[in-house]
C-alpha cells in the first residue's frame, strides 16, 4: 500500500510595512501644513530667506524651534534687521506672510508664531500617544532651504533611543551656564536613525499613518564641522517630544 505523508504547509505572507503603505497619502494631507520660517526684505535678492521649518498647530499659529527665530543667535543675524515671516505655498509661487513671536521656550527649543494675514485650513494634530523605541516615524521640512523654491522634503526613520538630551561640546569651556544647568536637569529626547539638515529645524515628526505629530525636529549630530553637515551627515537626528509644545500652547493661550 502506498502511503503519502503530507507535512505542515508553510505559507509565507509578505505583509505591508505599517508605516509605509499609507505614507504617501499622509504626506498629501499634511503638506500644506508644513511651512518655511524665515525673513523678508523687499530690497534684498532673494527677498525671502528661509531659516528653518514650521508647522501649523491652529488657524493662525505655527510651531518651530526657538533657535530658528532667535534674534540673538549670530547664525540668524538677518532676523535682527528683517521682517520675520512664514513662507506658505509651493515652489517659486510661495508667499511670505508677516509673523510675530508669541511664545518661546528656550529650554526645550520651541517657539510659537502668530500670523494675522491668513487663516490656515490644514492643521496638524498633536499626539498624546506613548512613543516607543523601534517605532517608525516621518518628518517633512526644508532641509536645504528654498534654493530651488519652496519644496517640502520627507524623511523617515525609527526611534532609535529615548534618552536624556545631549549637548555636544569640544571642551568644557565651550559650555555656557544655561547648558550646564540643562545637563544637571536633563529632559528626555528622541534620537532618530534618520538624516536631517539645518533647514529641517522645526520640522514635525509625525506618525506615517495618521499624520499626528509626536515631536519637533531639533538638531542633527555634526561629526566634524557645521560646513560639512551637507556632504557628511551623521544620520543621527534629535527631536523634542510634543508634550513640551502642548504645554507651551497652553501658556500662549
Q: How far is CA 54 from the centre of its chain?
A: 7
The answer to whether position 8 is within a domain reads no
Same-domain status, 111 and 153: no
CB 245 within 8 A of CB 110: yes
> Of 46, 81, 115, which residue sits at a domain end?
115
pLDDT tens track for 206-237: 999 999 999 999 976 543 444 444 444 445 79
pLDDT tens track for 27-44: 999 999 999 999 888 777
The pLDDT of residue 246: 97
The pLDDT of residue 52: 93
Same-domain status, 162 and 242: yes
Bridge partners of 220, per DSSP, are: 237
The answer to whether position 193 is within a domain reads yes
Per-residue pLDDT band for 48 (boundaries 50, 70, 90) equals: confident
Percent of the chain with pLDDT over 70: 71
The answer to whether position 128 is within a domain reads no
Same-domain status, 140 and 247: yes
CB burial of residue 119 (10 Å; 0-12, 13-18, 19+): exposed
Same-domain status, 140 and 92: no
Same-domain status, 105 and 186: no
The pLDDT of residue 6: 41
The answer to whether position 218 is within a domain reads yes
- Measured distance CA(234)–CA(157) in Å, rounded: 14
Per-residue cell: 211: 499624520
> Of 56, 85, 115, which residue sits at a domain end?
115
Same-domain status, 144 and 175: yes
- Give the predicted TM-score (pTM) of the model: 0.79
Residue 78 to residues 51, 82, 196, Cα–Cα distance (Å): 9, 6, 23
Same-domain status, 107 and 172: no
Name the average pLDDT for the chain: 80
Same-domain status, 164 and 219: yes
The answer to whether position 121 is within a domain reads no
Higher-confidence position of 7 and 250: 250
- Measured distance CA(173)–CA(115) in Å, rounded: 40
Question: What phi and psi, each to the nearest 5 degrees, are found at residue 157?
Answer: -175, 170
Residue 192 to residues 11, 35, 124, Cα–Cα distance (Å): 34, 22, 21
Most confident of 37-41, 78-82, 124-128, 217-221: 124-128
The answer to whether position 5 is within a domain reads no
Q: Which CB contacts under 8 angstroms, 24+ apart, belong to 42-47?
A: 44/82, 46/146, 47/96
Per-residue cell: 240: 523634542
The pLDDT of residue 60: 95
The answer to whether position 127 is within a domain reads no
Same-domain status, 88 and 193: no
Same-domain status, 162 and 228: yes
CB 212 within 8 A of CB 129: yes
The answer to whether position 217 is within a domain reads yes
pLDDT tens track for 162-192: 999 765 444 445 445 555 555 567 789 999 9
**How many domains, in total, are found in the chain?**
2
Same-domain status, 110 and 142: no
Structural domain containing residue 107: 31-115
CB 153 within 8 A of CB 90: no
Residue 74 reports pLDDT greater than 70: no
The pLDDT of residue 148: 61
Q: What is the CATH number of the domain that holds 51?
A: 2.40.10.10
Same-domain status, 88 and 150: no
Evaluated on CA atoms 55, 61, 63, 64, the torsion sign reads positive
3-state secondary structure of 15: coil
Amino acid at each position: 500500500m502506498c502511503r503519502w505523508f503530507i507535512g505542515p504547509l508553510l505559507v509565507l505572507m509578505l505583509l505591508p510595512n505599517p508605516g509605509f503603505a499609507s505614507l504617501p497619502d499622509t504626506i498629501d494631507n499634511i503638506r500644506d501644513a508644513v511651512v518655511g520660517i524665515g525673513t523678508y526684505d523687499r530690497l534684498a535678492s532673494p527677498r525671502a530667506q528661509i531659516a528653518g521649518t514650521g508647522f501649523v498647530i491652529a488657524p493662525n499659529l505655527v510651531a518651530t524651534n526657538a533657535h530658528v527665530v532667535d534674534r540673538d543667535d549670530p547664525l540668524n543675524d538677518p532676523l535682527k534687521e528683517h521682517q520675520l515671516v512664514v513662507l506658505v505655498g509651493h515652489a517659486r509661487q510661495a508667499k511670505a506672510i508677516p509673523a510675530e513671536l508669541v511664545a518661546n521656550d528656550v529650554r526645550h527649543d520651541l517657539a510659537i508664531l502668530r500670523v494675522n494675514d491668513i487663516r490656515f485650513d490644514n492643521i496638524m494634530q498633536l499626539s498624546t500617544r506613548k512613543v516607543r523605541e523601534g517605532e517608525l516615524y516621518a518628518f517633512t521640512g526644508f532641509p536645504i532651504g528654498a534654493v530651488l523654491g519652496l519644496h517640502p522634503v520627507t524623511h523617515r526613520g525609527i526611534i532609535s533611543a529615548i534618552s536624556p538630551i545631549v549637548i555636544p561640546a569640544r571642551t568644557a569651556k565651550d559650555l555656557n551656564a544655561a547648558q550646564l544647568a540643562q545637563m544637571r536637569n536633563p529632559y528626555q529626547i528622541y534620537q532618530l536613525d534618520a538624516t536631517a539638515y539645518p533647514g529641517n529645524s522645526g520640522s514635525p515628526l509625525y506618525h506615517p499613518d495618521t499624520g499626528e505629530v509626536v515631536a519637533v525636529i531639533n538638531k542633527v549630530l555634526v561629526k566634524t564641522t557645521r560646513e560639512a553637515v551637507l556632504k557628511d551627515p551623521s544620520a543621527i537626528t534629535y527631536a523634542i517630544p510634543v508634550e513640551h509644545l502642548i504645554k507651551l500652547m497652553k501658556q500662549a493661550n
